[in-house]
Amino acid sequence: MILALLVTAALTALLAATLLLPAQLSAAGEARLIERIDALLPQTQCGRCTFAGCKPYATALARGEADINQCPPGGPSTMIALAALLKRDARPVDPKFGVVPEVATVAWIDEPACIGCAKCIQVCPVDAIVGASKFMHTVIAAQCTGCELCIPPCPVDCIEMRPAAARA
């Protein structure tokens, strides 16, 4: 009887040890998971998911601190890919975070109206706006992700979103 209890206890202790093991090793696993999630995100860096960019959102997803339906630029396809990777239920993108765009857009600066305040340059998450203070600015269309972050800071409302030109 006592022997039986001892054997069971010993094995249970072993099991507990293996259950604790993943916690020790989870950091490496988490970094890999974040990378995998990040690879699925559209990299608009728009922050509509309420995080500061795609990578931060990926980190939050990996830690279970965010839901998979928070990325409007990625739309349903990104959501489905995330659901498959994270083994969560698919659900439509929450309109709370923004509308899923129908066509890809890029920012366009009405250059004559630009006063060269450089505010948009500071907020562009991918350095796609060039120009210097007091000089007019231009969006490098090929590098613009269409995040729309440059629109609110513009004091003269000279930035608008235009459909991205068809790329060869």
Partner 1 sequence: MSALLLILLSAVLVCYYAPTIPALNPFLAADHFDSAVGIAVASALTLIVVSPLSYLIEHALLAPRGLEQLRTLVFIIAVMAVAQLAGVAMRLSKRWMPVPTAFLLLMTSNSAVLGVAFLDTTRARTFSDSLLLGLGTGLAFALLLLMFTALQQRLRYANIPVMFRDTPAALVTVGLMALACMGFTGLIRE
Partner 2 sequence: MLLHSHVRGGLQLVGHKRRSAASVRIAAAPAEVILALDQHTGLPAIALVKPGDAVAMGQPIAQPQSDISAWVHSPISGRVVAIEPRPAAHHRGELAPSIVIANDGEDRRHPANAPVDFASMDPLELCEHIARGGIVGLGGATFPTAAKLLQARACAHIHLILNGVECEPWISCDDLLMRERAHDVILGAHILCRSLGAAKCTIAIESDMPEARSAVRAALASDTASNIEVASVPSIYPAGGERQLITTLTGQEVPADGLPSDIGVVCQNVGTAAAIARWIRDGEPLIRRIVTLTGSGVREPVNVEVRIGTPLAQLIEDAGGYQQPIAELIMGGSMMGKTLPHDGVPVTKGTNCVIAATAADFHERGTEMPCIRCGNCAEACPASLLPQQLHWYALGKDLDALESHGLLDCIECGCCDYVCPSQIPLTQRFRDAKPALLETVDSRTRANDARLRFESREQRLTRLEAERRAKLDEKRKAFKDAR
* Residues in contact with partner 2 by the rule CB under 8 A: 38, 41-45, 53-55, 104, 125-128, 142-143, 145, 167
As beta bridge partners, residue 138 has 130
Query: Which CB sits closer to partner 1, 20 or 166?
Result: 20
Q: Which is nearer to partner 2, 114 or 124 (CB)?
A: 124
Tell me the sheet residues that pair with 161.
107
Minimum CB distance to partner 2 smaller for 113 or for 130: 130
Distance CA 77, CA 47 (A): 18
* Residue 105 β-bridge partners: 163
In the complex with partner 1, which residue's Cβ is closer, 15 or 156? 15
Q: Which residues bind partner 1 (CB under 8 A)?
A: 3-4, 7-8, 11-12, 14-15, 18-19, 21-22, 25-26, 28-29, 32-33, 80-81, 83-87, 89-90
- Cα-based distances in Å from 124 to 2, 64, 135, 140: 69, 28, 17, 11
In angstroms, give the least distance from the CB of 93 to partner 1.
14
Q: How many CB atoms lie within 10 A of CB 15?
A: 10
Residue located via tokens 């998450």: 125
